[in-house]
Structure 1
Amino acid sequence: MKALFLVGGKGTRLRPLTEKLPKPMVPVMGVPLLQRNFDRLKTFGIQEIVLSTCYKPECIEQYFGSGANYGLQIHYVSEDLPLGTGGAIKNAERYFDKEPFFIFNADIISDINFGEMLRFHKRKNADVTIAVTRVDNPSAYGVIEYDDHDYAITFREKPKPHEVVSHYINAGVYIFNPQILKHIPAGRPVSVEREVFPKLLEKGKRIAVYKGCNYWLDLGTPEKYMQAHMDAFQGLYRIDEADFEKEPIYGRFNAKISGKAILRGPVYLGKDVRIEAGAIVGPNAVIGDRCCIGKKCRIENSILWNDVTVENGVEIIDSIVADECRVGLSTSYEKVIFAGDASKRLAIS
């Protein structure tokens, strides 16, 4: 079985973290989000992937190449201009001609059992299956109404509070039968949510609604990006290599940690980390590869990407620091994003 990832978005809401790299390559616990999603798919036997790219496609292709190093076969389809979700799917049509295939919005993490979702799709004899997740306030999302047999009956984008009739929203994971692609217009931007799905219903196509999603998060903002890491530390979002309940300090690969430094789990350490005397790291801290934490620093509830230098006496609380930043000296930072020469306040409570 194959899968299509829609990875062309600019990640505007994640800036400045996405100034130099596309949103799907933002690291989650030190590993690009896209790679984490690939790794999950492989456990369900999906090894052929199509990537629909647009913004900074070279970053993705240089990292993954043909996919051979990751046990995958990867194809790239690039858009010169953004085509929207439906247009991007249509643009990759040549790779899907026989079997049902998955489609993913690339900024989503979830606990969906993809094997179970595929069985549901076949059992419902559906033309399209949409994974949904329940939220308390659906007014910022695309809401799906469905009948007693779990088939969609209407789609409503960002309803006002008094218009809400369903709390189930589009989770950004689909299964399409290839025949459905002929119903998507070619050569222009198309929204699958606003245009394709409603038209399919008008034509009598079966759109099944799969509700087997308990954990779901859209990493569209720095605040949601931060939340994903805090959820991983708490065990709500599972990552393959670390179980913080069993081992609260993950890493120490070739690390140089002073005997006078304090690590307060949960903490995720990348490779070749150096932590000096008197530093306090954690709880809820991600320290990326080759980071240097100076003397008497404090890093708490924060995410440091790779090659970050934190000078002596610096406190970093509830913050994100992107690759190759130098933070210091003897200063306290709280709820701040550092990325290159840019910085931004984080709107977290």
Structure 2
Amino acid sequence: MKALFLAGGFGTRLRPITNDLPKPMVPIMGKPLLERNIERLKSYGIDEIVLSTCYKPHKIDKYFEDGEKFGAKINYITEEEPLGTAGAIKNAEKFLSDTFLVFNADILSDIDIADMIRFHKEKGAMATIAVTRVDNPSAYGVIEHDDDSFITAFKEKPKPHESKSNLINAGVYIFEREILNHIPGGRAVSIERETYPLLLEKGFKMAVYDKCSYWLDLGTPGKYLKVHKDILKGLVPIGNYDFGENRVFISESAKVDRSANIRGPVYIGENVVIGPSAVVGPNTVLFDNAFVGVGAKVEDSVVWDNVNVEKGAKVMNSVIMSNCTIDKDSERCNSVLTENSSHPIAV
């Protein structure tokens, strides 16, 4: 089975993190989100990947190349202009055969792909849509279904009295190839507003897969911080890190002064140096080659590679991007820091 990742989003709400990076290339625990999702897919034995790109596609192509070094076979298709979810799927038609998977490339979830595939086959559906529950569905398009898990309606941003459903599209799909016959080519097509209602109208079976306990769209800097905190707490499986009972992971190559105070949950990457009397954590991730100076403090933050937090500096609830320096005795709170600017994070 092949998997198509829709990796063309502009990541506008995630700026400035996405000023120079496609959203799927934003690092999660030091590796691009897309790489994390491909790793997880491979654990289910799926290693034939199609990447549909649009925004800064060369950044994705250059990193993944043909996929060999990641143990996968990767093909690319690029949108000259955004085509919408269904349009992007139609655009990748030449690479797709039989039953195939589709993923929005900007989400993290704990969906059991093998179980979802079994469910799809048991239902004999044209399409199976993974769903997640939200407290306030009025901000989303919700999905209604019958007692047999077959979809009966799609409702866009319903008012409280207009739908009893709180299920929304989780951005993971299984499709039969026949669905491509019902998507027009050469233009933008919304899968939610055009394709799905058309399939319902024509009487095709569409099923909801409702077994997702963790789901997060990496949409904003605040959510970027949240996903790392969730990983540190063990709420979503990423990598093979042994955090132990105290939820502390320190790489073997890190150098941590004995007088430093490491407060879990925390992740400390390769070749990180933490100086005397420094405080790191809780809810903190330090990517490779970061430096935390004497008496400096970093908590509730994600610090990318090659960052220098100088003596006495404080970093709180912030994202510090690669190659930045936090000056001696200065403070960074509730912000995203790039090499050239600082931007506030909504808290």
Question: Where on the TM-score scale, by shorter chain, does this alignment land: which range?
Answer: over 0.9
Which 4+ runs in 1 deviate beyond 6 A?
Answer: none
- In the TM superposition, residue 245 of structure 1 has moved relative to its aligned partner by 4.3
Q: In structure 2, what is the equivalent of residue 169 of structure 1?
A: 168
Q: In structure 2, what is the equivalent of residue 34 of structure 1?
A: 34
Matched, 1:276 2:275: yes
The worse-fitting range, judged by mean Cα deviation, of 4-13 and 210-219 is: 210-219
- In the TM superposition, residue 138 of structure 1 has moved relative to its aligned partner by 1.3
Secondary structure, aligned partner of 2:192: helix
Secondary structure, aligned partner of 1:194: helix
Matches within 5 A, 1:327-342: 327-342=326-341
The worse-fitting range, judged by mean Cα deviation, of 21-30 and 121-130 is: 21-30
Between the aligned residues of both structures, percent identity stands at: 53
Q: In structure 2, what is the equivalent of residue 160 of structure 1?
A: 159
Matched, 1:58 2:58: yes
Matched, 1:91 2:91: yes
Instruction: Decide whether the 8 Å contact of 1:287 with 1:305 is kept in 2.
Output: yes
Secondary structure, aligned partner of 2:342: strand
CA distance in 1, matches of 2:307, 2:216: 27
CA distance in 2, matches of 1:58, 1:101: 25
Q: In structure 1, what is the equivalent of residue 258 of structure 2?
A: 259
Instruction: Decide whether the 8 Å contact of 1:307 with 1:325 is kept in 2.
Output: yes
Instruction: Decide whether the 8 Å contact of 2:110 with 2:215 is kept in 1.
Output: yes
- In the TM superposition, residue 8 of structure 1 has moved relative to its aligned partner by 0.2
Matches within 5 A, 1:131-280: 131-246=130-245, 248-280=247-279
Q: In structure 2, what is the equivalent of residue 73 of structure 1?
A: 73
The worse-fitting range, judged by mean Cα deviation, of 275-284 and 250-259 is: 250-259
Q: In structure 2, what is the equivalent of residue 18 of structure 1?
A: 18
Instruction: Decide whether the 8 Å contact of 1:281 with 1:299 is kept in 2.
Output: yes
* One-letter identity of the residue aligned with 1:327: I
Uncovered stretches (5+) of structure 1, i.e. residues with no partner? none
* One-letter identity of the residue aligned with 2:127: V
Secondary structure, aligned partner of 2:189: coil
CA distance in 2, matches of 1:107, 1:241: 21
- In the TM superposition, residue 165 of structure 1 has moved relative to its aligned partner by 2.3
Secondary structure, aligned partner of 1:50: strand
Uncovered stretches (5+) of structure 2, i.e. residues with no partner? none
- In the TM superposition, residue 240 of structure 1 has moved relative to its aligned partner by 2.6
Instruction: Decide whether the 8 Å contact of 1:131 with 1:211 is kept in 2.
Output: yes
CA distance in 2, matches of 1:65, 1:76: 9
Secondary structure, aligned partner of 1:220: coil
Q: In structure 2, what is the equivalent of residue 287 of structure 1?
A: 286
Structure 1-normalised TM-score?
Answer: 0.96
Instruction: Decide whether the 8 Å contact of 1:139 with 1:164 is kept in 2.
Output: no
What value does the CA root-mean-square deviation take over the aligned residues? 1.3
Matched, 1:8 2:8: yes
* One-letter identity of the residue aligned with 1:318: N
The worse-fitting range, judged by mean Cα deviation, of 154-163 and 221-230 is: 154-163
Structure 2-normalised TM-score?
Answer: 0.97
CA distance in 1, matches of 2:42, 2:170: 20
Going from structure 1 to structure 2, the CA distance change for 1:174 and 1:155 (only over 3 Å counts) comes to same
CA distance in 1, matches of 2:159, 2:328: 48
Measured against aligned partners, the alpha-carbon deviations of 1:310-335 in whole angstroms (never above 9, x if no partner) come to 11111111111111111122112221
Q: In structure 2, what is the equivalent of residue 314 of structure 1?
A: 313
* One-letter identity of the residue aligned with 2:146: D
Measured against aligned partners, the alpha-carbon deviations of 1:90-139 in whole angstroms (never above 9, x if no partner) come to 00001112x21110001111111101100110100000000011111112
- In the TM superposition, residue 244 of structure 1 has moved relative to its aligned partner by 2.9
CA distance in 1, matches of 2:163, 2:17: 33
How many pairs were matched up? 347
Going from structure 1 to structure 2, the CA distance change for 1:339 and 1:65 (only over 3 Å counts) comes to same
